[in-house]
Chains A and B, each alone.
Chain A
Amino acid sequence: MRRAGTGIAALFGRSLIAAGAAAAAEPVQITMWSNWPDEPAKKEWVAARVRDFEAANRQCAVKLSFIPKADIYTQAKSAVRTGQAPDVFYLEPDQPEFLAGGFLEPLDGHVDLAKLEDWAKPAWTSKGKVYGLPVEAYTVELYYNKDLVKKVGVEVPPSFQLTQSGFADLVRKGAAAGITPVSQGVGDRPFPGGLLLFESLLRKLGTEDYGKLLNGTLSFKDPRVLEVMTWFKGLVEAGAYPKSFATLKLGESHYYFYQKPGALTFPDPSWFTGRAFASPESGGMPADFPLGIMQFPAMDQGQCPSCKTLAVAGSFVMYARGKNKACAGALLDSMATIGNGDKWVEQVSLQTGLKSDPAKINSSHAAYFAELNARNKGATYFFGTPLMYYRSKCAETYTQVMNNAFPAGLIGVNEAADKMDSACRKGS
């Protein structure tokens, strides 16, 4: 009886040890939500970084999900309040409420911040701490179809920058030839309709006054602003945008530009490549497409023709109430290497806020990258897009008015300026 009892105890003990060993071998699972389910190059970059991390850190496992950006924001807003947010998730600097609400973990103790570009850190810096890993950075560019622009009789100058009247001429000639001058749609995004106007305002006002405009200390009734808006209104009335502008989605506007029906120009952040360099069967740009990049037009008496918007977009942040911060932090740290920066540039053909080594980048789109670099050489950067400055009612008004109604020709210059001032002007 006693021997049997000893045997049972030994068996129980062995089971406990086995269970303990199994528990010790069981990796800690963290969850990660990433954007870019429909952008193969970025998706593959993220998936590869997670695979590399898991291979090098057997004690951590990552449950990675690719979710459209809007859904991530909506789900994360509920989840952070209830303690159920993923350990690591995608965020852009235009969602400051997560940081203001105290839901983000500072990366300072987790990530080697020396691996991030200095110009990219301010996008995620608050009270001296950095809260986001700035994977995706971009400049706002004006892509164009070299053949179609030539076909309508416009010669792009060696500076690759048309004048204010030269661009208006391009629009008029395109419309007369039955070719849409500017491919753009606002069916599913709050910003594309403002790209051409606000880039023009930046070149007219220069970085300082443009910053004041976005901060609400300069009125939209400023004569210089009204002048640019009036010029822009002329483009709209000349038929610059597609008739389906209000309902055309971002992905569709890509297709509109480089497939069917075709357009002369396409203002887009340089993340253009995420869709354009997908295979043509997946809606990407045909291999022989005559893609060019020109500067946004120089405004008459403009303060800064060489100005350009630079911004941080897709980033990864850590949830402050996450239970597995060690693994989550290690994952982000493993992503922030120069080698990974190189791979991002190679695979995605897009700028990054991670440090990279241009000498080692070997991209299949080298020609594109060379042209992008050439258009950015000597540029004076303004950091951030309007939606990174505008909040709440002002952001909603920007979306409805400057992104949609004004470029759609639904309202006039003064009405648009009034609406923006009443929503965004400090002290109004």
Chain B
Amino acid sequence: MAGTSALAAKTEPAERVPASGRVSDPRRASWPVLLVFLAPALVVYLGLTAYPAVRTIYDSLFTIEGAERSYVGLANYRDLLGDETFWIAVRNTFVWAFVAPILDVATGLLLALALYAGVPFARFLRVAWFTPVLLSYVVVAILWMWIYNYDWGVVNEGLRAAGLGTLARSWLGDPNTALAALIVTHAWKWAGFNMVVCLAAIHALPSEVLEAAELDNCGWAAKLRHVIVPMLRPTLLNLYVLAFIGKMKVFDLVWIMTGGGPLWATETVSTYVYKRAFNWNTFDLGYPSAIATVWFGVVCAAVIVLNRIFKTRDRLEY
């Protein structure tokens, strides 16, 4: 009994209404319970995302040679300002990130419209167009290196067959065409993804609006321009921003197909970071960490700016 009364005495204050007047929600889990559920995700996030990010920023203030590290402050960042190759990589990455998503989204939208319009073999084409999304970058890169091969690639063979042999060239070996060739390859891989998203969005459009347009004798082109595309705008912008973020980090395809060459024409910030970290006869991770830190800031800033621009009229979700 004594124990019971002691327990009652202990629990009594908890049952009182707080001075603030708020009543505690019995459905609300206590902190220990919350922690039990949050801990696994938190541990993974802290260990695999937060710590590496913070450590990268910290390392950027050092020069690391073998097991020794020496503090250099902002020297790595100062060196970065005068690093010609870094600025070439920045230019290439920006070109890729701002221009290529337009190609990606436009191609995806066109394919989706073709399916929506009921082209022959639509079921087959839907699968065929989506298949590249399922392929790894390695497979895609090798496939397109064959396609671009000077001697027997499909592109040059096609040109020769069409009597345009003078246009045949080493697409990946020419600084004037290498970046464009990679962008086309990337667009080919991701067009299917954009197509599926656009197709779902088109099917979700309110049918009464489309029917009203048809009743008003609105032609296919006018309906597309004045009804479908404006209504798809939030989806298209979401796809653009998603593609933009992906392309700011592009690495695999470039590394396999050109290694950043020729003459740094396809060097991206990611390939340059990798080269500086692993291909420069040095163990120094300080300078590559500085590049990675700067680029992390640039990507975040660019996404915020794009959000601001697009957010005025459309809500972005990604």
Interface residues of A (CB under 8 A from B): 73-74, 77, 81, 94-97, 100-103, 242-247, 261, 391-393, 395-396, 399-401, 404-405, 408, 410-411
Contacts and interface: CB of A to CB of B under 8 A. Distances in A.
A247 B281 contact: no
Interface stretch (B145-153, B206-214, B236-244): B145-153
B264 interface: yes
Given A392-B280, A396-B85, A81 B263 contact: no
A10 B184 CA distance: 76
Given A97-B66, A242-B151, A405-B175, 16 more contacts: A77-B278, A77-B283, A103-B66, A244-B149, A246-B174, A246-B261, A247-B148, A247-B149, A261-B151, A391-B281, A392-B282, A395-B280, A400-B262, A400-B264, A405-B261, A410-B174
Contacts of B172: 246-247
A97 B283 contact: yes
Which of the listed residues A243, A245, A395 has the most CB atoms from chain B within 10 Å of its own CB? A243
Contact of B67 (A81, A94, A95, A405): A81
A101 B263 contact: no
B317 interface: no
Contacts of A101: 65-67, 283
B318 to A, nearest CB: 32
Contacts of B262: 246, 400, 404-405, 408, 410
Interface of B: 65-67, 85, 145, 148-151, 170, 172-175, 261-264, 275, 278-283
Contact of B281 (A103, A392, A400): A392
B173 A73 contact: no
Contacts of A411: 263
B120 to A, nearest CB: 37
A395 B276 CA distance: 12
A243 B148 CA distance: 12
Given A247-B145, A247-B170, A396 B151 contact: no
B206 to A, nearest CB: 50
Contacts of B174: 246, 410
B281 A244 contact: no
A395 B149 CA distance: 27
Contacts of A261: 151
A405 B263 contact: yes
B233 to A, nearest CB: 40
A400 B263 contact: yes
A415 to B, nearest CB: 10
8 contacts: A81-B283, A97-B281, A102-B66, A247-B150, A400-B264, A404-B262, A405-B263, A410-B263
A404 to B, nearest CB: 5
Nearest to A244: B150
Given A244-B170, A404-B263, A410-B175, A96 B145 contact: no
A96 B281 contact: yes
B189 to A, nearest CB: 19
Contacts of B149: 244, 247
Contact of A408 (B67, B85, B148, B173): B173
